[in-house]
A and B are shown apart, each in its own frame.
Chain A
Amino acid sequence: MDSSERKLDAAPEDGVLTRRGFLGMAASMTAAATAAVVPKLGAAANAAANERDVIEVAIIGAGLAGLTAGRDLKRAGCESFVVLEARGRVGGRTLNHDLGNGYFSEAGGQWIGPGQTAVADLARELGVGTFPTYWQGKSTILAGNARAAVDTEGGFGTDPKIAHELEKLAQSVPSGAPWKSPRAAEFDAMSVGEWLAKKNIEPADQVGWSAGLAITGGASPARLSLLHWLSMVNSAECNYDRLEAVKDGAQQTRIAGGSQILSIKMAQALGDKVRLNSPVLRIENWQDGPVTIQTAKGVIRAHRVIMALQPALCQQIVYDPPLPEGRRELQRRWPAFAPGRKTSHVYKRPFWRDKGLNGWIFQPGGMVLWAYDNSPEDLSFGVINAFVQISMLPSDPKVAEAELSRIYAQAFGEEALHPLSYHEHDWRKADPWTLSCVSPMPPGFLTKYGEALHPPVGRLIWSGTETADIWAGYMDGAVRSGHKAALQALQGIAARRA
């Protein structure tokens, strides 16, 4: 992760701290060593803050990134911080549907996979268990009134020859800073779709690529930059399956108690430092600090701010003075156009498994992008979750439930017509604090605006999964970005005390 060092070195306010100083702190941040090494720093900071009624750090956003940052600050002995959250809950883009009796199904981000070590470590530290995503058996494909069941072996059946070509190209595209690739201009000038079209994809396979890119990348093939897509493949250590598949891929592992449990547990440990229902409206004096943060629930003053929210959400806040042009344009143009709507059908048991089916449905030309088995580990009942075309599912939940049930019946048999319950979450409708699931970067964006993604601006430290060096856009990236932001904030505190 040498790119993060460069970014920190480049931050204007950090000039006083040597690279050695930063590396020393980075080493100290590993696991429990942190609290033992840095407490003196934190205690001194607390005293200063009390004197002047200015806290050391304000964190905006109580998702995985912001809460990880808060947790790290606390472990470093810094108590002078708050976590401001717009919603009435924590977890950001992770959200549990409560199925009753202590069971949950996820409405947002939910999986972890090989190489996603930051989120896996966090789960272990919090005492949260994991278990495998179910993929064994045949997947169902529906088109019109036709149905077929095929063993896709835990993957989406991507043509291995083309996947391998993408893996090769991805080697030169650093996951955290794709614009630094020697071939950045060339790759960012075209969409994944344009690149694929040159490979003479069979018409029928085009449908498969469209579905795969929509599910993993959040946009249609013509809208996704090849450079961006290669950076995602690079995150997965240039192994296409590791990015896309369930078996041996980024969708391999689930979190016991639902993925939101990670944030809930971190927030519990932070207690009243987490302030819910406190959307930030305005940020003043961000250049030199103390920064004034106006929220719907009053004013907070802080020496520095961790902006643990995606760039398009950063744009909803008013800055006085305005942010530098590069950062402003990055935020204004940041693609917030991958809204998600996820549904859960709860059944008495996962009856499809008895029929040799894995609960997966692909429906080209239909409203189901991908349905999958999201049953609890102990199989006390069966759950089918689905990513749907948000526009094609009727608004009325009763009607939506019935339409999906009929599709599931076509795939799995009549038993599917009678779910015990139905849950859905249309993220674009639910509240204004999400906007988008992943960030589907369009061609031309990263090479033009990417440079402004990482460097702090004055006292503002940019965090959130979009800023991660590895697995940006994933829960793992969120945790990584939280760790990095905490280091940057602690570095700032150290520089001020020096």
Chain B
Amino acid sequence: MNTVSQPLSRTKRTMIVSGVLLLAVALVAGVMYGPELYGMVKLGQQVDKLTSENTRLGGPWPRASDACIFCHGFEGNARAQNYPRLAGQPEAYLKKQLKAFAAGERTNATMESMAASMSDREVDGLAAHFAKMTPASNATFHADPASAARGEALVKANNCASCHGQQLEGKDMFPRLAGQGQVYLRDQLARFKSGARRDGTGAMPAVAAALSDQDMEDVAQFIASR
């Protein structure tokens, strides 16, 4: 065990993102004027706006849902295509997936340990939270028109809407697909096909079994751009 050493002298330290405090320090120290002071005031306003918006959406700090931002984005709207978007996913689906990860029934090295560290109450809270978030359009994905057109035909032929909804918006145990990350969608289809991801109803392995690699790419292109 280490022994404590004397803390360094800490003079005129400021919180880096605290608009209010920064402003106070700047004024007292008299080091800021003109545009610099204006920037500080504006920054303070922006940070205040951000924190009140975060509290409105996710409750008081520290928020459980902040744990999900790294991979799933702000309010569950990831912009990278390889991480799943959680915004607007049905509550029952999210709960089921978290429990499956915790039990090792669905495998993913990141999510298994994450879900296993959560209490039932946390799982319920997170599922309810992300179900309430508004799904943003997948604006960072730009579909190849030919591929997406082939994908649309496959989506119709396989009647994906029968479980996932007319707009692929998801319901109950069936996930929302519309606007989901393209790489994530393609990977999950491949995992259903290989048996790496299971589905109690048997529907997804059956659908994926008949799809070629190109088919999976096309289907993902179409769905991601919905």
Contact = CB atoms under 8 A, between A and B. Distances in A.
Q: Do A and B come from one complex?
A: yes
Given A143-B50, A175-B2, A332-B112, A148 B79 contact: no
A174 B83 contact: no
B110 A436 contact: yes
A399 B81 CA distance: 13
Interface in B26-55: 36, 39-40, 42-52, 55
Contacts of B46: 143-146
B113 A335 contact: yes
Interface stretch (A199-207, A252-260, A376-384, A412-420): A199-207
B210 interface: no
A426 B52 CA distance: 31
Contact of B109 (A156, A174, A175, A316): A316
A391 interface: yes
B210 to A, nearest CB: 27
A246 B193 CA distance: 48
Contacts of B66: 210, 220-223
Interface in B84-132: 104, 109-114, 116-117
A355 B21 CA distance: 25
B39 A336 contact: no
B212 interface: no
B183 to A, nearest CB: 7
A365 interface: yes
Contacts of B63: 220, 222
B47 A364 contact: yes
Interface in B52-87: 52, 55, 60-64, 66-67, 69-74, 78-83
User: Which of A206, A221, A393, A396: most chain B CB closer than 10 A?
Assistant: A206
B16 A362 contact: yes
A389 B8 contact: no
A204 B47 contact: yes
B79 A393 contact: yes
Of A204, A238, A332, which is in contact with the most chain B CB atoms at under 10 Å from its CB?
A: A204
B7 to A, nearest CB: 6
B4 A146 contact: no
A323 interface: no
A163 B116 CA distance: 30
Contacts of A339: 70-71, 110
Interface in A208-222: 208, 210-211, 214, 219-222
The size bracket of the interface on B is: 35 or more
A383 to B, nearest CB: 22
B109 A203 contact: no
B207 interface: no
B50 A239 contact: no
A197 B1 contact: no
A203 B55 CA distance: 9
Nearest to A441: B117
Contacts of B60: 197
B5 A237 contact: yes
A122 interface: no
A155 interface: yes
A160 B74 CA distance: 29
A394 B15 contact: no
Interface stretch (A188-196, A263-271, A460-468, A490-498): A188-196
Contacts of B117: 223, 333, 335, 442, 444-445
A365 B74 contact: yes
Given A164-B7, A364-B17, 10 more contacts: A148-B22, A204-B51, A220-B69, A223-B67, A237-B3, A239-B5, A337-B111, A337-B114, A391-B70, A436-B110
Interface of A: 3, 139, 141, 143-150, 152-153, 155-160, 163-164, 167-168, 170-171, 174-175, 191-194, 196-197, 201-208, 210-211, 214, 219-223, 234-235, 237-241, 248, 312, 315-316, 332-339, 362, 364-365, 367, 389-396, 399, 426, 428-429, 432, 435-436, 442, 444-445, 470
13 contacts: A141-B17, A149-B36, A156-B16, A204-B48, A239-B7, A335-B113, A339-B110, A389-B74, A391-B69, A391-B73, A395-B183, A432-B109, A444-B117
